[in-house]
Amino acid sequence: MTVEYETISVTAGGSRIEVLKGGRGRPLVALHSIEGNLGWLPCYQRLADRFTVYVPTHPGYAGSERPSCVESFIDLARFYPWILQELGIGRATLMGHFIGGWLAAEMAAMCPDAVEKLVLIDAAGIKPERGEIADIFLHGIEGTRELSFHDAQRSREYEAFFPPAKTPEQRELQNHNREATTRYCWKPYAHDPMLPLLLGRLDVPALIVWGREDRIVPLECADLFHAAIRNSRLAVIDGCGHLPQFERPQELDRILSDFLLRD
């Protein structure tokens, strides 16, 4: 059965924030990555059978306004609880991919009592000790996308969400979102030096999901998150790059269901 969703907006700090909302049940907040809000993805549709899924567009990304004082990633993490407050969300599951995972981790470290469960998918936020997080600004939009897949041809959803031909409007949106990512993630690049320490205060169930062949955030970072969060489990997906929600959706669904439906 198809779950209907709606586009709503709330105002926090004088800025209008766009949010997709659908499903029923306990709240789950899905935090998007550098591409901006890609819409009501199939993975959200599947989760909406069991949860009320909220997909906010981050302040400063196409569709949402940014308060002028929100300039850094830590600013963004500190501001987000206001957005959730305006949505009427109390304790919730936070789930995020790449910078969305980093954002979920920062929010959980700041407000652990507001988090029911935490799901980090190929997340930024912790600097690897041996390798490095790929420079998405150096590689550009197309280069980063190419690095993100282990085998794009196996993904039935790839062309639907990453079409090769771009209209001027699509390119403008890409540039807008890239500007927002640069503002939030540039210095220090894609990590918070304090995050591993702060995650030590968490005692909520946490799931860390990683593509074994991730060429954006090395698998080493999955181990570092796992070590930092004491009540966490790690699931590594073989034959998968940085985007398991597109490259291995069925495997990701199985892992998420096993974790999220567990009491």
pLDDT of residue 263: 63
Task: Dump the DSSP string for 12-66.
Answer: ETTEEEEEEEEE-SEEEEEE--TT----S-HHHHHHTTTEEEEEEPPTTSTTS--
* pLDDT, position 167: 84
- HSE at residue 9, side-chain half, CA atoms within 13 A, is 10
| Intervals of the chain under pLDDT 50 | none
How far CA 108 is from CA of 20, 95, 166, 198, in Å, comes to: 21, 11, 36, 9
Q: What pLDDT, on the 0 to 100 scale, is given for residue 215?
A: 98
Amino acid identity, residue 201? R
Return the closest-CA partner of residue 190 out of 138, 256, 152, 249: 138
pLDDT at 16: 98
CA-nearest of 212, 221, 211, 205 to 259 is 205
- Quote the CA–CA distance of 162 and 35 in Å, as a whole number: 10
Q: Going by C-beta distance under 8 Å and a sequence separation of 6 or more, which residues neighbour residue 263?
A: none
Query: Which amino acid does the sequence have at 157?
Result: E
Return the SS3 of 10.
strand
Residue 206 gets which letter from DSSP? E
In angstroms and rounded to an integer, the radius of gyration of the C-alpha atoms of the chain is 17
Distance CA 260, CA 80 (A): 22
3-class secondary-structure state, position 232: strand
Q: Give the CA diameter of the chain.
A: 47
DSSP letter for each residue of 108-126: HHH-GGGEEEEEEES--BS
Q: How confident is the model at residue 158, as a pLDDT?
A: 72
> Looking at the domain 5-260, which fold is it?
Rossmann fold (3.40.50)
Q: How far, in Å, CA of 209 to CA of 63, rounded?
A: 28
